[in-house]
Structure 1
Amino acid sequence: MARITAGIATSHVPAIGAAIDLGKTQDEYWKPIFDGYEFVKEWIKSNTPDVVILVYNDHASALMLDIVPTFAIGFADEFLPADEGWGRRPVPTVHNHSDLAAHVAEQLVIDEFDITIINEMDVDHGCTVPLSLVFGQPEEWPCKVIPLAVNVTQFPTPSGERCWKLGEAIRNAVKTFPEDLNVQIWGTGGMSHQLQGTRAGLINAEFDNRFLDLLAHEPEELTPMTRIEYLREAGTEGIELIMWLIMRAALGYGVEELHRFYRVPASNTAVGHVVYEARS
Protein backbone atom coordinates (compact mmCIF):
# COMPACT_ATOMS: atom_id res chain seq x y z
CA MET A 1 0.00 0.00 0.00
CA ALA A 2 1.00 3.65 -0.28
CA ARG A 3 2.50 5.37 2.73
CA ILE A 4 3.40 8.91 3.78
CA THR A 5 7.03 8.75 4.83
CA ALA A 6 8.04 12.37 5.35
CA GLY A 7 6.85 15.94 5.44
CA ILE A 8 8.47 19.19 4.42
CA ALA A 9 7.29 22.70 5.19
CA THR A 10 8.65 25.89 3.73
CA SER A 11 7.80 29.46 2.96
CA HIS A 12 7.06 30.14 -0.71
CA VAL A 13 8.20 33.75 -1.08
CA PRO A 14 7.97 34.70 -4.79
CA ALA A 15 11.21 36.70 -4.65
CA ILE A 16 13.01 33.48 -3.71
CA GLY A 17 11.91 32.01 -7.02
CA ALA A 18 13.15 35.12 -8.82
CA ALA A 19 16.52 34.87 -7.06
CA ILE A 20 16.86 31.25 -8.25
CA ASP A 21 15.78 32.04 -11.81
CA LEU A 22 18.12 35.06 -12.07
CA GLY A 23 21.14 33.28 -10.59
CA LYS A 24 21.29 35.41 -7.43
CA THR A 25 21.34 32.64 -4.83
CA GLN A 26 24.93 33.42 -3.83
CA ASP A 27 24.42 37.17 -3.56
CA GLU A 28 25.16 38.61 -0.12
CA TYR A 29 21.47 39.13 0.67
CA TRP A 30 20.22 35.75 -0.54
CA LYS A 31 23.03 33.34 0.36
CA PRO A 32 22.10 32.92 4.08
CA ILE A 33 18.58 31.98 3.03
CA PHE A 34 19.59 29.40 0.45
CA ASP A 35 22.21 27.96 2.80
CA GLY A 36 19.28 26.96 5.03
CA TYR A 37 18.06 24.63 2.28
CA GLU A 38 21.32 22.79 1.67
CA PHE A 39 20.27 20.03 4.08
CA VAL A 40 17.02 19.24 2.31
CA LYS A 41 18.64 19.39 -1.15
CA GLU A 42 21.10 16.70 -0.06
CA TRP A 43 18.55 14.70 1.95
CA ILE A 44 16.07 14.51 -0.91
CA LYS A 45 18.64 12.84 -3.17
CA SER A 46 18.37 9.63 -1.14
CA ASN A 47 14.76 10.20 -0.11
CA THR A 48 13.08 11.12 -3.37
CA PRO A 49 9.40 10.14 -3.15
CA ASP A 50 7.22 8.74 -5.89
CA VAL A 51 4.64 11.43 -5.21
CA VAL A 52 4.46 14.72 -3.34
CA ILE A 53 1.10 16.01 -2.15
CA LEU A 54 1.89 19.71 -2.19
CA VAL A 55 -0.39 21.87 -0.05
CA TYR A 56 -0.21 25.48 -1.18
CA ASN A 57 -2.37 28.49 -1.94
CA ASP A 58 -3.07 30.05 -5.29
CA HIS A 59 -2.50 33.82 -5.48
CA ALA A 60 -5.33 34.66 -7.91
CA SER A 61 -3.32 33.10 -10.74
CA ALA A 62 -5.56 30.14 -11.58
CA LEU A 63 -8.33 30.49 -9.00
CA MET A 64 -9.68 33.97 -9.60
CA LEU A 65 -11.68 35.80 -6.99
CA ASP A 66 -15.03 35.03 -8.64
CA ILE A 67 -14.74 31.39 -7.49
CA VAL A 68 -12.79 30.63 -4.30
CA PRO A 69 -12.85 26.96 -3.23
CA THR A 70 -11.90 26.25 0.36
CA PHE A 71 -10.00 23.08 -0.58
CA ALA A 72 -9.23 22.03 -4.16
CA ILE A 73 -7.26 19.17 -5.67
CA GLY A 74 -5.67 19.15 -9.11
CA PHE A 75 -6.96 16.45 -11.47
CA ALA A 76 -5.17 17.35 -14.71
CA ASP A 77 -2.34 15.19 -15.99
CA GLU A 78 -0.02 18.19 -15.89
CA PHE A 79 0.13 21.77 -14.66
CA LEU A 80 2.12 24.56 -16.31
CA PRO A 81 3.86 27.27 -14.29
CA ALA A 82 1.53 30.25 -14.06
CA ASP A 83 2.21 33.63 -15.61
CA GLU A 84 1.91 35.91 -12.58
CA GLY A 85 2.47 39.09 -14.57
CA TRP A 86 6.10 38.73 -15.61
CA GLY A 87 5.98 35.54 -17.66
CA ARG A 88 6.03 31.89 -16.66
CA ARG A 89 8.87 30.79 -14.37
CA PRO A 90 11.50 28.79 -16.30
CA VAL A 91 10.78 25.62 -14.33
CA PRO A 92 9.51 22.19 -15.39
CA THR A 93 5.87 21.33 -15.88
CA VAL A 94 4.31 19.64 -12.85
CA HIS A 95 3.09 16.11 -13.64
CA ASN A 96 0.26 14.70 -11.56
CA HIS A 97 -0.32 11.21 -10.18
CA SER A 98 -3.91 11.16 -11.38
CA ASP A 99 -4.83 7.78 -9.92
CA LEU A 100 -3.74 8.72 -6.41
CA ALA A 101 -5.34 12.16 -6.74
CA ALA A 102 -8.64 10.52 -7.69
CA HIS A 103 -8.40 8.08 -4.80
CA VAL A 104 -7.62 10.82 -2.28
CA ALA A 105 -10.47 12.98 -3.58
CA GLU A 106 -12.96 10.12 -3.31
CA GLN A 107 -11.89 9.29 0.23
CA LEU A 108 -12.03 12.93 1.28
CA VAL A 109 -15.62 13.16 0.06
CA ILE A 110 -16.44 9.98 1.99
CA ASP A 111 -14.88 11.69 5.02
CA GLU A 112 -17.26 14.64 4.44
CA PHE A 113 -14.80 17.07 2.88
CA ASP A 114 -16.47 18.81 -0.05
CA ILE A 115 -13.27 18.93 -2.07
CA THR A 116 -13.29 20.88 -5.33
CA ILE A 117 -12.00 19.00 -8.37
CA ILE A 118 -9.94 21.12 -10.78
CA ASN A 119 -9.38 19.63 -14.22
CA GLU A 120 -7.33 22.50 -15.63
CA MET A 121 -5.13 25.06 -13.89
CA ASP A 122 -1.67 26.57 -13.85
CA VAL A 123 0.37 26.52 -10.64
CA ASP A 124 1.99 29.69 -9.34
CA HIS A 125 4.92 30.40 -7.01
CA GLY A 126 3.07 28.85 -4.06
CA CYS A 127 3.68 25.49 -5.72
CA THR A 128 6.81 25.99 -7.83
CA VAL A 129 9.05 27.85 -5.34
CA PRO A 130 9.02 24.96 -2.81
CA LEU A 131 9.84 22.53 -5.62
CA SER A 132 12.80 24.69 -6.65
CA LEU A 133 14.05 25.05 -3.08
CA VAL A 134 14.10 21.28 -2.57
CA PHE A 135 14.96 19.92 -6.04
CA GLY A 136 17.00 22.77 -7.46
CA GLN A 137 16.83 23.40 -11.21
CA PRO A 138 16.34 20.01 -12.91
CA GLU A 139 15.09 19.47 -16.47
CA GLU A 140 12.11 17.61 -14.99
CA TRP A 141 10.78 17.36 -11.46
CA PRO A 142 11.95 13.96 -10.14
CA CYS A 143 8.53 12.86 -8.88
CA LYS A 144 4.82 13.27 -9.48
CA VAL A 145 3.10 16.16 -7.68
CA ILE A 146 -0.53 16.43 -6.59
CA PRO A 147 -1.39 20.11 -6.03
CA LEU A 148 -3.80 20.69 -3.16
CA ALA A 149 -4.89 24.33 -2.94
CA VAL A 150 -6.23 25.91 0.26
CA ASN A 151 -8.03 29.23 0.47
CA VAL A 152 -6.02 31.54 2.71
CA THR A 153 -6.65 34.69 0.68
CA GLN A 154 -10.37 35.43 0.97
CA PHE A 155 -12.59 35.37 4.05
CA PRO A 156 -13.84 32.93 5.25
CA THR A 157 -10.71 30.81 5.41
CA PRO A 158 -10.76 27.33 6.96
CA SER A 159 -9.80 27.01 10.60
CA GLY A 160 -6.62 25.39 11.81
CA GLU A 161 -8.67 22.61 13.34
CA ARG A 162 -10.39 21.92 10.01
CA CYS A 163 -7.01 21.83 8.29
CA TRP A 164 -5.73 19.37 10.88
CA LYS A 165 -8.69 17.09 10.20
CA LEU A 166 -8.02 17.36 6.47
CA GLY A 167 -4.44 16.22 7.04
CA GLU A 168 -5.68 13.22 9.02
CA ALA A 169 -8.13 12.37 6.23
CA ILE A 170 -5.35 12.59 3.63
CA ARG A 171 -3.22 10.23 5.70
CA ASN A 172 -6.08 7.72 5.91
CA ALA A 173 -6.75 8.03 2.18
CA VAL A 174 -3.14 7.47 1.15
CA LYS A 175 -2.70 4.34 3.23
CA THR A 176 -5.72 2.72 1.56
CA PHE A 177 -4.33 3.23 -1.95
CA PRO A 178 -3.33 -0.24 -3.17
CA GLU A 179 -0.23 0.71 -5.15
CA ASP A 180 3.12 0.62 -3.34
CA LEU A 181 4.05 4.30 -3.31
CA ASN A 182 6.41 6.42 -1.25
CA VAL A 183 4.48 9.64 -0.65
CA GLN A 184 5.61 12.87 0.95
CA ILE A 185 3.37 15.74 1.98
CA TRP A 186 4.57 19.32 1.90
CA GLY A 187 3.00 22.34 3.59
CA THR A 188 3.89 25.74 2.20
CA GLY A 189 3.46 29.43 2.93
CA GLY A 190 4.12 31.61 5.96
CA MET A 191 5.72 32.40 8.26
CA SER A 192 4.69 35.73 9.81
CA HIS A 193 4.32 38.50 7.27
CA GLN A 194 1.99 41.26 6.19
CA LEU A 195 2.22 42.84 2.76
CA GLN A 196 -0.20 45.75 3.04
CA GLY A 197 -1.97 48.11 5.41
CA THR A 198 -0.65 49.93 8.45
CA ARG A 199 1.18 46.83 9.69
CA ALA A 200 2.95 46.13 6.38
CA GLY A 201 6.33 44.58 7.12
CA LEU A 202 5.20 42.91 10.36
CA ILE A 203 7.39 39.98 11.40
CA ASN A 204 6.88 38.20 14.73
CA ALA A 205 9.93 35.98 15.31
CA GLU A 206 8.79 34.99 18.79
CA PHE A 207 5.48 33.69 17.46
CA ASP A 208 7.17 31.94 14.53
CA ASN A 209 9.67 30.07 16.66
CA ARG A 210 7.03 29.01 19.18
CA PHE A 211 4.97 27.69 16.25
CA LEU A 212 7.97 25.64 15.13
CA ASP A 213 8.56 24.37 18.66
CA LEU A 214 4.98 23.13 18.96
CA LEU A 215 4.52 21.84 15.43
CA ALA A 216 6.93 18.94 15.80
CA HIS A 217 5.87 17.41 19.10
CA GLU A 218 2.89 19.32 20.53
CA PRO A 219 0.80 20.20 17.48
CA GLU A 220 -2.42 19.81 19.46
CA GLU A 221 -1.52 23.15 21.04
CA LEU A 222 -1.81 24.81 17.63
CA THR A 223 -5.06 23.40 16.30
CA PRO A 224 -7.37 25.58 18.46
CA MET A 225 -5.69 28.80 17.30
CA THR A 226 -8.30 31.00 15.63
CA ARG A 227 -7.99 32.88 12.38
CA ILE A 228 -8.06 36.14 14.33
CA GLU A 229 -5.08 34.99 16.40
CA TYR A 230 -3.10 34.26 13.26
CA LEU A 231 -3.96 37.69 11.89
CA ARG A 232 -3.05 39.45 15.13
CA GLU A 233 0.17 37.56 15.85
CA ALA A 234 1.49 36.71 12.38
CA GLY A 235 -0.04 39.31 10.06
CA THR A 236 -2.59 39.02 7.29
CA GLU A 237 -0.50 36.49 5.34
CA GLY A 238 0.54 34.54 8.44
CA ILE A 239 -2.71 32.59 8.08
CA GLU A 240 -0.81 30.52 5.48
CA LEU A 241 0.60 28.55 8.41
CA ILE A 242 -2.63 26.55 8.62
CA MET A 243 -1.33 24.69 5.56
CA TRP A 244 1.60 23.47 7.66
CA LEU A 245 -0.98 21.87 9.98
CA ILE A 246 -2.31 19.80 7.07
CA MET A 247 1.19 18.47 6.44
CA ARG A 248 1.80 17.77 10.10
CA ALA A 249 -1.48 15.94 10.67
CA ALA A 250 -0.89 13.73 7.64
CA LEU A 251 2.29 12.40 9.27
CA GLY A 252 0.54 11.13 12.41
CA TYR A 253 1.57 12.05 15.93
CA GLY A 254 5.10 10.67 15.92
CA VAL A 255 7.73 12.47 13.86
CA GLU A 256 11.45 13.03 13.94
CA GLU A 257 12.54 16.57 13.17
CA LEU A 258 15.51 16.21 10.84
CA HIS A 259 16.06 19.88 10.08
CA ARG A 260 14.78 23.31 11.07
CA PHE A 261 15.64 26.68 9.58
CA TYR A 262 14.41 30.21 10.26
CA ARG A 263 15.61 33.45 8.71
CA VAL A 264 14.54 37.09 8.84
CA PRO A 265 14.03 38.77 6.49
CA ALA A 266 13.55 37.49 2.96
CA SER A 267 11.83 40.09 0.82
CA ASN A 268 10.16 41.62 3.88
CA THR A 269 8.94 38.29 5.27
CA ALA A 270 10.09 35.63 7.71
CA VAL A 271 11.25 32.37 6.11
CA GLY A 272 10.71 29.06 7.88
CA HIS A 273 11.52 25.51 6.84
CA VAL A 274 11.36 22.08 8.48
CA VAL A 275 11.91 18.47 7.43
CA TYR A 276 10.08 15.72 9.32
CA GLU A 277 10.32 11.97 9.02
CA ALA A 278 7.25 9.95 9.92
CA ARG A 279 7.69 7.30 12.59
CA SER A 280 6.03 3.95 12.07
Structure 2
Amino acid sequence: MARIIGGIGSSHVPTIAVAYDKGKQSDPAWAPLFDGYKPVAAWLAEKQADVLVFFYNDHCTTFFFDLYPTFSLGVGEHFPIADEGAGLRDLPPIRGNVDFQAHMAESLVNDEFDIAVFQNKPIDHGCASPLPLLWPHKPDWPGTVVPIAINVLQYPLPTARRCYRLGQAVRRAVESYPEDLKVVVVGTGGLSHQIHGERTGFNNTEWDLKFLELLENDPEALMRMKHADYVRLGGAESVEQIMWLAMRGALGAGPVRKLHQNYYLATTTAMTVVLYEEGEPVAASADKAEPATA
Protein backbone atom coordinates (compact mmCIF):
# COMPACT_ATOMS: atom_id res chain seq x y z
CA MET A 1 0.00 0.00 0.00
CA ALA A 2 0.98 3.64 -0.22
CA ARG A 3 2.63 5.06 2.90
CA ILE A 4 3.73 8.40 4.27
CA ILE A 5 7.50 8.46 4.79
CA GLY A 6 7.97 12.00 6.06
CA GLY A 7 6.73 15.54 6.37
CA ILE A 8 8.10 18.94 5.36
CA GLY A 9 7.15 22.39 6.58
CA SER A 10 8.12 25.22 4.26
CA SER A 11 7.56 28.89 3.71
CA HIS A 12 6.14 29.76 0.31
CA VAL A 13 7.18 33.39 0.02
CA PRO A 14 6.86 34.58 -3.62
CA THR A 15 10.25 36.29 -3.43
CA ILE A 16 11.85 32.85 -2.99
CA ALA A 17 10.66 32.03 -6.51
CA VAL A 18 11.90 35.36 -7.88
CA ALA A 19 15.33 34.92 -6.28
CA TYR A 20 15.53 31.33 -7.52
CA ASP A 21 14.60 32.27 -11.08
CA LYS A 22 17.20 35.04 -11.08
CA GLY A 23 19.93 32.63 -9.97
CA LYS A 24 20.55 34.23 -6.57
CA GLN A 25 21.27 30.94 -4.80
CA SER A 26 24.82 32.08 -3.97
CA ASP A 27 23.96 35.69 -3.20
CA PRO A 28 25.01 36.44 0.42
CA ALA A 29 21.51 37.64 1.27
CA TRP A 30 19.86 34.50 -0.10
CA ALA A 31 22.40 31.70 0.37
CA PRO A 32 21.35 30.96 3.99
CA LEU A 33 17.83 30.32 2.72
CA PHE A 34 18.71 28.19 -0.30
CA ASP A 35 21.39 26.26 1.58
CA GLY A 36 18.79 25.40 4.19
CA TYR A 37 16.78 23.46 1.61
CA LYS A 38 19.68 21.33 0.37
CA PRO A 39 19.47 18.68 3.13
CA VAL A 40 15.75 18.33 2.48
CA ALA A 41 16.26 17.95 -1.26
CA ALA A 42 18.99 15.38 -0.59
CA TRP A 43 16.66 13.44 1.72
CA LEU A 44 13.90 13.41 -0.91
CA ALA A 45 16.36 12.17 -3.53
CA GLU A 46 17.68 9.47 -1.21
CA LYS A 47 14.19 8.27 -0.30
CA GLN A 48 13.01 8.53 -3.93
CA ALA A 49 9.65 9.94 -2.93
CA ASP A 50 6.93 9.28 -5.50
CA VAL A 51 4.37 11.86 -4.38
CA LEU A 52 4.32 15.18 -2.57
CA VAL A 53 0.98 16.09 -1.00
CA PHE A 54 1.02 19.89 -0.74
CA PHE A 55 -1.15 21.69 1.79
CA TYR A 56 -1.02 25.28 0.58
CA ASN A 57 -3.25 28.28 0.04
CA ASP A 58 -4.20 29.86 -3.24
CA HIS A 59 -3.62 33.61 -3.39
CA CYS A 60 -6.62 34.43 -5.61
CA THR A 61 -4.98 32.77 -8.61
CA THR A 62 -7.15 29.67 -8.98
CA PHE A 63 -10.04 30.85 -6.79
CA PHE A 64 -11.50 34.25 -5.98
CA PHE A 65 -13.65 35.55 -3.18
CA ASP A 66 -16.89 34.98 -5.09
CA LEU A 67 -16.19 31.23 -4.80
CA TYR A 68 -13.42 30.30 -2.39
CA PRO A 69 -13.68 26.73 -1.02
CA THR A 70 -12.53 25.82 2.47
CA PHE A 71 -10.65 22.76 1.19
CA SER A 72 -10.03 21.88 -2.45
CA LEU A 73 -8.03 19.09 -4.08
CA GLY A 74 -6.60 19.18 -7.58
CA VAL A 75 -7.12 16.24 -9.93
CA GLY A 76 -5.26 16.19 -13.23
CA GLU A 77 -2.28 14.87 -15.16
CA HIS A 78 -0.72 18.34 -15.28
CA PHE A 79 -1.18 21.73 -13.63
CA PRO A 80 0.29 24.89 -15.18
CA ILE A 81 2.38 27.13 -12.94
CA ALA A 82 0.70 30.50 -12.71
CA ASP A 83 2.14 33.72 -14.07
CA GLU A 84 1.71 36.02 -11.08
CA GLY A 85 3.05 39.12 -12.78
CA ALA A 86 6.74 38.32 -13.22
CA GLY A 87 6.27 36.25 -16.38
CA LEU A 88 6.07 32.53 -16.97
CA ARG A 89 8.64 30.57 -14.98
CA ASP A 90 11.13 28.23 -16.63
CA LEU A 91 9.57 25.20 -14.93
CA PRO A 92 7.64 22.28 -16.41
CA PRO A 93 3.97 21.89 -15.48
CA ILE A 94 3.38 20.16 -12.17
CA ARG A 95 2.65 16.48 -12.71
CA GLY A 96 -0.30 14.64 -11.19
CA ASN A 97 -1.35 11.02 -10.71
CA VAL A 98 -5.07 11.07 -11.52
CA ASP A 99 -5.83 7.64 -10.04
CA PHE A 100 -4.19 8.56 -6.75
CA GLN A 101 -5.71 12.05 -6.65
CA ALA A 102 -9.19 10.69 -7.41
CA HIS A 103 -8.77 8.09 -4.67
CA MET A 104 -7.76 10.83 -2.27
CA ALA A 105 -10.84 12.90 -3.14
CA GLU A 106 -13.21 9.95 -2.77
CA SER A 107 -11.61 8.86 0.49
CA LEU A 108 -11.80 12.36 1.99
CA VAL A 109 -15.46 12.79 1.06
CA ASN A 110 -16.31 9.38 2.50
CA ASP A 111 -14.35 10.41 5.62
CA GLU A 112 -16.81 13.34 5.92
CA PHE A 113 -14.58 16.08 4.53
CA ASP A 114 -16.74 17.95 2.03
CA ILE A 115 -13.83 18.79 -0.21
CA ALA A 116 -14.08 20.61 -3.55
CA VAL A 117 -12.22 19.29 -6.59
CA PHE A 118 -10.56 21.43 -9.24
CA GLN A 119 -9.07 20.59 -12.64
CA ASN A 120 -7.07 22.46 -15.29
CA LYS A 121 -6.30 25.33 -12.93
CA PRO A 122 -2.96 27.09 -12.45
CA ILE A 123 -0.95 26.60 -9.27
CA ASP A 124 0.53 29.71 -7.70
CA HIS A 125 3.46 30.35 -5.36
CA GLY A 126 1.71 28.68 -2.45
CA CYS A 127 2.98 25.42 -3.93
CA ALA A 128 5.26 26.44 -6.80
CA SER A 129 7.61 28.70 -4.82
CA PRO A 130 9.27 25.98 -2.69
CA LEU A 131 8.78 23.10 -5.15
CA PRO A 132 11.99 23.56 -7.21
CA LEU A 133 13.99 23.85 -3.98
CA LEU A 134 12.76 20.39 -3.01
CA TRP A 135 12.76 18.54 -6.34
CA PRO A 136 14.89 18.84 -9.49
CA HIS A 137 12.86 19.77 -12.56
CA LYS A 138 14.97 19.20 -15.68
CA PRO A 139 13.79 17.68 -17.91
CA ASP A 140 10.80 17.02 -15.63
CA TRP A 141 9.78 16.58 -12.01
CA PRO A 142 10.76 13.20 -10.52
CA GLY A 143 7.28 12.54 -9.11
CA THR A 144 3.73 13.78 -8.85
CA VAL A 145 1.94 16.29 -6.64
CA VAL A 146 -1.44 16.23 -4.92
CA PRO A 147 -2.35 19.92 -4.42
CA ILE A 148 -4.71 20.52 -1.50
CA ALA A 149 -5.66 24.18 -1.18
CA ILE A 150 -6.79 25.45 2.23
CA ASN A 151 -8.65 28.72 2.73
CA VAL A 152 -6.63 31.02 4.97
CA LEU A 153 -7.76 34.21 3.19
CA GLN A 154 -11.52 34.66 3.44
CA TYR A 155 -13.29 34.27 6.75
CA PRO A 156 -14.62 31.99 8.10
CA LEU A 157 -11.38 30.02 8.05
CA PRO A 158 -11.05 26.37 9.08
CA THR A 159 -9.74 25.99 12.61
CA ALA A 160 -6.26 24.77 13.43
CA ARG A 161 -7.80 21.56 14.77
CA ARG A 162 -9.81 21.03 11.56
CA CYS A 163 -6.61 21.32 9.54
CA TYR A 164 -4.94 18.75 11.78
CA ARG A 165 -7.90 16.43 11.27
CA LEU A 166 -7.64 16.96 7.52
CA GLY A 167 -4.08 15.68 7.76
CA GLN A 168 -5.30 12.65 9.67
CA ALA A 169 -7.88 11.98 6.95
CA VAL A 170 -5.22 12.34 4.27
CA ARG A 171 -3.15 9.72 6.07
CA ARG A 172 -6.09 7.32 6.01
CA ALA A 173 -6.58 8.04 2.31
CA VAL A 174 -2.92 7.37 1.55
CA GLU A 175 -2.81 4.13 3.52
CA SER A 176 -5.94 2.81 1.80
CA TYR A 177 -4.41 3.17 -1.68
CA PRO A 178 -3.21 -0.23 -2.93
CA GLU A 179 -0.23 0.88 -5.04
CA ASP A 180 3.19 0.96 -3.36
CA LEU A 181 3.87 4.71 -3.31
CA LYS A 182 6.21 6.67 -1.06
CA VAL A 183 4.39 9.84 -0.06
CA VAL A 184 5.71 12.98 1.64
CA VAL A 185 3.31 15.57 3.08
CA VAL A 186 4.25 19.25 2.80
CA GLY A 187 2.68 22.07 4.82
CA THR A 188 3.42 25.54 3.50
CA GLY A 189 3.01 29.17 4.52
CA GLY A 190 4.31 31.56 7.15
CA LEU A 191 5.91 31.80 9.50
CA SER A 192 5.45 35.22 11.13
CA HIS A 193 4.67 38.05 8.72
CA GLN A 194 2.23 40.81 7.98
CA ILE A 195 2.16 42.61 4.65
CA HIS A 196 -0.57 45.18 5.17
CA GLY A 197 -1.93 47.64 7.71
CA GLU A 198 -0.29 49.27 10.69
CA ARG A 199 1.86 46.22 11.49
CA THR A 200 3.31 45.86 8.00
CA GLY A 201 6.71 44.18 8.31
CA PHE A 202 5.92 42.62 11.69
CA ASN A 203 7.89 39.50 12.69
CA ASN A 204 8.22 37.52 15.90
CA THR A 205 11.22 35.19 15.92
CA GLU A 206 10.57 34.08 19.49
CA TRP A 207 7.08 32.92 18.55
CA ASP A 208 8.27 31.30 15.30
CA LEU A 209 10.72 29.09 17.17
CA LYS A 210 8.13 28.31 19.85
CA PHE A 211 5.66 27.32 17.13
CA LEU A 212 8.20 24.92 15.63
CA GLU A 213 8.87 23.39 19.04
CA LEU A 214 5.14 22.91 19.70
CA LEU A 215 4.53 21.56 16.21
CA GLU A 216 7.07 18.85 16.87
CA ASN A 217 6.24 18.02 20.48
CA ASP A 218 2.82 19.38 21.41
CA PRO A 219 0.55 19.98 18.39
CA GLU A 220 -2.47 19.84 20.71
CA ALA A 221 -1.40 23.22 22.14
CA LEU A 222 -1.46 24.69 18.63
CA MET A 223 -4.85 23.15 17.93
CA ARG A 224 -6.33 24.94 20.93
CA MET A 225 -5.29 28.34 19.57
CA LYS A 226 -7.75 30.64 17.85
CA HIS A 227 -7.05 32.47 14.61
CA ALA A 228 -6.75 35.69 16.61
CA ASP A 229 -3.94 34.10 18.64
CA TYR A 230 -1.94 33.31 15.50
CA VAL A 231 -2.52 36.82 14.15
CA ARG A 232 -1.55 38.49 17.43
CA LEU A 233 1.64 36.47 17.81
CA GLY A 234 2.78 36.27 14.20
CA GLY A 235 1.01 38.91 12.16
CA ALA A 236 -2.11 38.74 10.03
CA GLU A 237 -0.70 36.50 7.31
CA SER A 238 0.87 34.09 9.79
CA VAL A 239 -2.52 32.41 10.14
CA GLU A 240 -1.10 30.33 7.27
CA GLN A 241 0.63 28.34 10.00
CA ILE A 242 -2.52 26.26 10.46
CA MET A 243 -1.63 24.54 7.17
CA TRP A 244 1.48 23.13 8.85
CA LEU A 245 -0.88 21.37 11.25
CA ALA A 246 -2.40 19.48 8.32
CA MET A 247 1.08 18.15 7.54
CA ARG A 248 1.64 17.30 11.21
CA GLY A 249 -1.68 15.49 11.44
CA ALA A 250 -0.74 13.33 8.46
CA LEU A 251 2.39 12.16 10.30
CA GLY A 252 0.33 10.26 12.86
CA ALA A 253 -0.34 10.56 16.57
CA GLY A 254 3.06 9.28 17.71
CA PRO A 255 6.32 11.19 18.11
CA VAL A 256 8.20 12.61 15.16
CA ARG A 257 11.91 12.86 14.52
CA LYS A 258 13.12 16.27 13.32
CA LEU A 259 15.94 15.66 10.85
CA HIS A 260 16.57 19.25 9.77
CA GLN A 261 15.46 22.80 10.48
CA ASN A 262 16.50 26.09 8.94
CA TYR A 263 15.10 29.47 9.97
CA TYR A 264 16.03 32.66 8.13
CA LEU A 265 14.50 36.11 8.47
CA ALA A 266 15.61 37.69 5.21
CA THR A 267 12.59 39.70 4.07
CA THR A 268 9.29 40.64 5.67
CA THR A 269 8.59 36.93 6.20
CA ALA A 270 10.38 34.48 8.46
CA MET A 271 11.38 31.84 5.90
CA THR A 272 11.67 28.36 7.27
CA VAL A 273 12.06 24.74 6.21
CA VAL A 274 11.82 21.74 8.53
CA LEU A 275 11.93 18.00 7.85
CA TYR A 276 10.34 15.23 9.92
CA GLU A 277 10.15 11.47 9.95
CA GLU A 278 8.04 9.38 12.29
CA GLY A 279 9.93 8.10 15.31
CA GLU A 280 11.65 9.19 18.49
CA PRO A 281 13.26 12.66 18.39
CA VAL A 282 16.93 13.18 17.59
CA ALA A 283 19.03 16.34 17.29
CA ALA A 284 18.24 18.31 14.14
CA SER A 285 20.93 18.86 11.52
CA ALA A 286 20.53 22.62 11.75
CA ASP A 287 18.71 25.05 13.96
CA LYS A 288 18.44 28.52 12.58
CA ALA A 289 20.32 31.10 10.60
CA GLU A 290 20.78 34.45 12.22
CA PRO A 291 18.00 36.90 11.39
CA ALA A 292 19.02 39.27 8.63
CA THR A 293 17.52 41.74 6.22
CA ALA A 294 17.71 41.66 2.46
Instruction: Report if TM-score (shorter chain) is over 0.5.
Output: yes
Q: Which residue of 2 aligns with 1:208?
A: 208
Taking the aligned partners of 1:164 and 1:220, their CA distance within structure 2 comes to 9
Normalised to the residue count of structure 2, the TM-score between the two structures is: 0.92
Partners of 2:187 and 2:246 within 8 A in 1: yes
CA RMSD of aligned residues (A): 1.3
The secondary structure found in structure 2 opposite 1:36 is helix
Quote the residue 2:118 is aligned against: 118
User: Residues of 2 paired with 1:112 and 1:53: CA distance?
Assistant: 19
For 2:43 and 2:106, locate their aligned partners in 1 and report how far apart those are by CA, in whole Å.
32
Aligned to 1:188: 188
1:142 deviates by: 0.8
Counterpart CA distance in 1 for 2:256 and 2:166 is 18
Q: Which amino acid aligns with 1:94?
A: I
**Alpha-carbon separation, structure 1, partners of 2:210 and 2:255:** 19
Alpha-carbon shift at residue 219 of structure 1 (Å): 1.2
CA contact (8 A) 1:164 1:249 kept: yes
Alpha-carbon deviations, 1:220-258, whole Å to 9, x = none? Answer: 111111111111111111011111000011011221110
**Structure 2, unaligned runs of 5 or more:** 281-294
Mapped contact 1:50–1:183 kept (Cα < 8 A): yes
Aligned residue identity for 1:254 = P
Deviation at 1:26, TM superposition (A): 1.0
Is the Cα–Cα contact under 8 Å of residues 61 and 83 in structure 1 kept in the other structure?
A: no
Q: Identify the residue that residue 198 of structure 1 maps to in structure 2.
A: 198
1:217-232 alignment to 2 at 5 Å?
217-232=217-232
SS in 2 for 1:8: strand
Residue 68 in 1 paired to residue 75 in 2?
no
**TM-aligned CA deviation for residue 205 of structure 1:** 0.6
Q: Quick one: distance in 2 between partners of 1:66 and 1:120?
A: 19
CA distance in 2, matches of 1:139, 1:222: 40
2:93 counterpart letter in structure 1:
T
Deviations for 1:166-189, whole angstroms, at most 9, x for unmatched residues? Answer: 000111111011111111110011
The residue aligned with 2:261 is: 260
Look up the match of 1:44: 44
Task: Report deviation, 1:16.
Answer: 0.7
Query: Which residue does 2:162 correspond to in 1?
Result: 162
AA in 1 matched with 2:260: H
Structure-1 residue corresponding to 2:142? 142
Q: How far off is 1:137 after superposition?
A: 4.8
Aligned length: 279
2-structure distance, mates of 1:174, 1:207: 32
- What is the aligned partner in structure 1 of residue 249 from structure 2? 249
1:81-115: CA deviations, max 9, x gaps?
00112222211211111111111111111111110
Q: CA deviation at 1:65?
A: 2.0
Tell me which stretches of 4 or more aligned residues in structure 1 moved more than 2 Å: 136-139
CA distance in 1, matches of 2:119, 2:129: 22
What percentage of residue pairs aligned between the two structures are identical? 46
CA–CA distance in structure 1, aligned partners of residues 119 and 10 of structure 2:
26
1:120 deviation in Å?
Answer: 2.0
SS of 2:131's partner is helix
Matched, 1:238 2:250: no
Unaligned runs of 5+ in 1: none
- Separation in structure 1 between the aligned mates of residue 97 and residue 255 of structure 2, nearest angstrom: 27
Distance 1:206 1:16, change over 3 A: same
Counterpart in the other structure of 2:10: 10
The answer as to 2:86 corresponding to 1:86 is: yes
User: Is residue 275 of structure 1 aligned with residue 280 of structure 2?
Assistant: no
